[in-house]
A and B are shown apart, each in its own frame.
Chain A
Amino acid sequence: DVKVTQSSRYLVKRTGEKVFLECVQDMDHENMFWYRQDPGLGLRLIYFSYDVKMKEKGDIPEGYSVSREKKERFSLILESASTNQTSMYLCASGRNYEQYFGPGTRLTVT
């Protein structure tokens, strides 16, 4: 079974804080992705990575950065959290085209 884990299920942060969301997969997948999901807007790709130390911007990278120092770990960083970054954050990993999602982190920025 594919296992993708995320560091927190729920997180509450204050405006201006730096926020780290961690994602770990145990299937030796090359590809890893960060999405956010909002009602009425669906799943939107923030960043993705096809290899260690490699990253590519998705559709909505503004206000976010990522880090992939090891193959199994892909971190999403909110440099200065804002209220419009309140959302469900979903990490996915995969090989070829299939993607498997972690449980998600519901982030609230107050």
Chain B
Amino acid sequence: QKEVEQNSGPLSVPEGAIASLNCTYSDRGSQSFFWYRQYSGKSPELIMSIYSNGDKEDGRFTAQLNKASQYVSLLIRDSQPSDSATYLCAAELDSSYKLIFGSGTRLLVRP
């Protein structure tokens, strides 16, 4: 059974801190990885995609990929209360266009 695993949290950080969200995946064949943000009662919103080992930065967000260790992380710098949401990690499945999603990590940013 191929899986994407995330700590459910909540991860609580003070405003202005760096939030670090992690996920691991089991399918060594996965090449494409995504982070979605989901506010309570809303649908997931794609915020980052990463395809190569290393870091990819977009504003306050940095995605990190380590294929050898099969983990993906998302760093949120200068965290804001508006970043409080559930963050879903997703990986491409079986070299298809399907994604397998983790169960999400709930992030709370304290003012």
Do B46 and A98 touch (CB < 8 A)?
Answer: yes
Do A42 and B104 touch (CB < 8 A)?
Answer: yes
Chain A interface size, as a band, is 20 to 34
In the complex, what residues of B have CB within 8 A of residue A64's CB? none
Q: Chain B residue with minimal CB distance to A50?
A: B97
Contact of B44 among A48, A90, A97 (CB under 8 A): A90
Given A43-B88, A97-B32, A97-B92: A102 and B99 within 8 A (CB)?
no
Do A31 and B97 touch (CB < 8 A)?
Answer: yes
Do B98 and A48 touch (CB < 8 A)?
Answer: yes
Do B98 and A90 touch (CB < 8 A)?
Answer: no
CA distance A40 to B86 in the complex (A): 13
Do A99 and B99 touch (CB < 8 A)?
Answer: yes
| Residue B45 interfacial (CB < 8 Å) | yes
| Residue B69 interfacial (CB < 8 Å) | no
A99 to chain B, nearest CB (A): 6
Contact of B103 among A42, A90, A103, A104 (CB under 8 A): A42
Residue with the highest number of chain A CB atoms closer than 10 Å, among B42, B44, B90, B103: B44
Given A42-B102, A42-B103, A42-B104: A90 and B34 within 8 A (CB)?
no
CB contacts under 8 Å to B, within A24-72, are 31, 33, 40, 42-43, 45, 48, 50, 58
Do A102 and B43 touch (CB < 8 A)?
Answer: yes
Do A97 and B46 touch (CB < 8 A)?
Answer: no
Given A42-B104, A43-B88, A98-B34: A103 and B98 within 8 A (CB)?
no
CA distance A103 to B39 in the complex (A): 11
Do A104 and B34 touch (CB < 8 A)?
Answer: no
| Residue B101 interfacial (CB < 8 Å) | yes
10 contacts between A and B (CB under 8 A): A31-B97, A40-B103, A42-B103, A43-B88, A48-B97, A50-B97, A97-B34, A98-B34, A102-B43, A104-B43
Q: A-B pairs with the 9 shortest C-beta distances?
A: A97-B32, A101-B43, A43-B101, A42-B103, A104-B43, A31-B97, A97-B92, A101-B44, A103-B43
